[in-house]
Amino acid sequence: MSVEQVLIERSGNQCELCASTEGLAVMEVAPSDGTAAESILVCGECAALLESPEQNPNHWRCLNDSMWSPAPAVQVTAYRILKKIASEGWPQDMLDMLYLEPEVQEWADAGLDEVDDNAEPTRDNHGNILLEGDSVSIIKDLVVKGAGFTAKQGTTVKNIKMAPGDPTHIQGRVNGTMIFLKTEFLKKS
Amino acid sequence: MPTREDALTLLKRYNKNPALIQHGLQVEACMRHFAARAGGDVETWGMVGLLHDLDYEQYPEQHCIKAAEIMEEAGYSQEIIRAMLSHAWGICTDVEPLSAMEKTLYAVDELSGLVNACVLVRPSKSIMDLGLKSVKKKFKTKRFAAGVDRETVRKGAQMLEMELDQLITEVIEAMKADAEAIGVA
């Protein structure tokens, strides 16, 4: 049985991301060995948006269902898309609920790292490059939308995480809540 | 006083995301279950569950505050509005859960989300074969449904003077009883 036939059977002959039946094609989920286990079946619309998911974030609300697929390749794709559009807010809520088994998480992160290699570096207010795990200080009081508190000037945020595909934000824990912070209001500690 | 149907219509007017509507229905099911158990008014408790995140999709930056305005305009009682406000105690509001209904909402909101996630990762996608042991294991795995604040769930159990195991069991039972309607059958 060909990879395509396996995927058609696995998916019920529909896009594994949005359930459309139009223009279905096989897509390998990098890094992939080309097998069905490391590929997904996607429709024309999803395929066109995969390179730059931020072009139409609302299309990816379909991941609300598909991120729970039992197929790791679908989980990995959903995770990477959500990471890229996380600053929209609702995708972060979905990421907060998603769980990937450790080996699947490793696969998902490997793909993100490939993307990051070509990305614009994330810099603080003074132009210093920020990296995963760095500590930063907040240089201005920031009202945190949706969380009902203000992240105070002078607060140190340890062990920051990058916002893939978005060098203007980082993620960090303030008042026990994981939030996005604009890098223009941060200084590397 | 608006009916349950009015409340559902209101929820759907402000929410297009099916996951948020489903969450409202799931919390409603839990609230109705706990109301029956505590001798509370099942309709009132259910409505509080259904509408607790009414404004989250459209007004995330004014969560709870906007919902209070909308609910007041729609004729909901202060009892229901206060309960809605109290579910975000310490996060978006300073309204402490005091009544049994408010404490229950605080306790089941996050936990029902965790149970839902436990269902979605099962091959059966059904709550019918989900047990306490499985949920407890996922509860202890911090990376699983990391958005669910375990501390809030523990605090909720304490408020209700229930063991965590008992609270989880009751939430599973509540969701099982209404599984078809709340999307976990």
The domain tally of chain B equals 1
Confidence band of A118 (pLDDT split at 50, 70, 90):
low
- The model's pLDDT over B92-120, given as tens digits with 9 standing for 90+, comes to 899 999 999 999 999 999 999 999 999 99
Maximum Cα–Cα distance for chain A, whole Å? 61
pLDDT at A132 over 80: no
**B16 CA: distance to closest CA in chain A (Å):** 11
Residue B22 has pLDDT above 80, yes or no: yes
Structural domain includes residue B183: no
Report yes or no on whether pTM surpasses 0.90.
no
Structure tokens given for B8: 């559902």
Mean pLDDT of B144-151: 93
The domain ranges of chain A are 3-117, 136-188
Q: Residue B159 above 90 pLDDT?
A: yes
The Cα B114–Cα B180 span in angstroms is 18
Rounded CA-CA distance B33/A149 in Å is 33
CB A157 within 8 A of CB A174: yes
B34 belongs to a structural domain: yes
Partner-chain contact B92 A146, CB within 8 Å: yes
In eight-state DSSP terms, residue B11 is H
- Alpha-carbon distance of B157 to B146, in angstroms, equals 19
Mutation target among A88, A97, A143 for the B interface, most CBs of B within 10 A:
A97
In this complex, the residue of B61, B64, B145 whose CB is nearest that of residue A99 is B145
> Could you tell me if residue B184 is inside a domain?
no
Q: What is the least distance, in Å, from the CA of A128 to any CA of chain B?
A: 30
Residue B50 lies in a domain: yes
Residue A167: what residue type?
P
Q: Which ranges of B76-146 does DSSP label H, i.e. alpha helix?
A: 78-86, 100-120, 132-140
**CATH top-level class for A136-188?**
mainly beta
Bridge partners (DSSP) listed for residue A143: A150
Indicate which CATH number applies to the domain containing B147: 1.10.3210
For residues A9-35, average pLDDT: 94
Best A96, A103, A175 residue to mutate vs chain B (most B CBs within 10 Å) = A96
- Rounded distance, CA B12 to CA A20, Å? 24
pLDDT digits (tens, 9 = 90+) for A97-112: 999 999 999 999 987 7
CA distance A104 to chain B (A): 13
CA-to-CA distance for B183 and B181, rounded, in angstroms? Answer: 6
Facing B61 at nearest CB: one of A70, A96, A145: A145
The answer to whether the CB of A140 falls within 8 A of the CB of A150 is no
What was the pLDDT predicted at A133?
Answer: 78
Mean pLDDT score of chain B, rounded to an integer?
96
DSSP notation for A39-104: EEEE-HHHHHHHS-GGGSGGGGGGHHHHTT-S-HHHHHHHHHHHHHTGGGSHHHHHHHH----HHH
Asked if B120 lies within 8 A of A68 by C-beta distance, the reply is yes
- What ipTM does this complex have? 0.84
Per-residue confidence at B1, pLDDT binned at 50, 70, 90?
confident
Query: Is pLDDT of B8 > 80?
Result: yes
